[in-house]
């Protein structure tokens, strides 16, 4: 089974899994990121990604207003994925100005 998922005007994914349920699971998971940031913003989110020194890949949806990110998590044993809520990184020596 194959599905086409448009994540943004610039990102379109073609997902192909062995079964209908697996295809829908992947497609729906990617599109169901949190729709409201910790700052209250609901618009203009964009996708980011990064790789650490151990080659772990991180996929995020980022808020343009405050810079908070919702991260795509992986279930243990690589059994699937889920979205974490938006979090804003604030260094220990800084104070967060968003309340």
Tens of pLDDT, residue by residue over 57-78, are: 999 999 999 999 999 999 998 8
Strands 46-51 and 11-16: unpaired
Residue 69: CA count within 13 A, CB half-sphere: 12
Tell which wins on pLDDT, 99 or 74. 74
Assess contact for 92 and 65: CB atoms under 8 A.
Answer: no
**Which residues in 27-96 belong to E strands, given as ranges?**
46-51, 57-62, 69-74, 81-83
- Mean pLDDT, range 5-29, rounded to an integer: 91
Q: What local confidence, expressed as pLDDT, does residue 98 receive?
A: 56
Q: What is the pTM of this model?
A: 0.79
- Please, which residues have CB within 8 angstroms of residue 64's CB and are 6 or more apart in sequence? 41, 44, 45, 46
Q: Which tokens in the block code for residue 2?
A: 């194959």
């Amino acid at each position: 089974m194959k599905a086409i998922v448009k994540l943004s005007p610039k990102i379109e994914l073609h997902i192909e899994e062995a079964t209908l349920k697996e295809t829908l699971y992947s497609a729906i998971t990617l599109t169901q990121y949190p729709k409201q940031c910790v700052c209250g913003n609901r618009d203009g989110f964009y996708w980011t990604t990064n790789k650490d020194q151990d080659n772990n890949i991180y996929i995020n949806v980022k808020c343009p207003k405050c810079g908070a990110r919702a991260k795509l998590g992986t279930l243990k044993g690589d059994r699937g994925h889920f979205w974490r809520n938006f979090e804003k990184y604030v260094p220990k020596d800084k104070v967060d100005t968003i309340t």
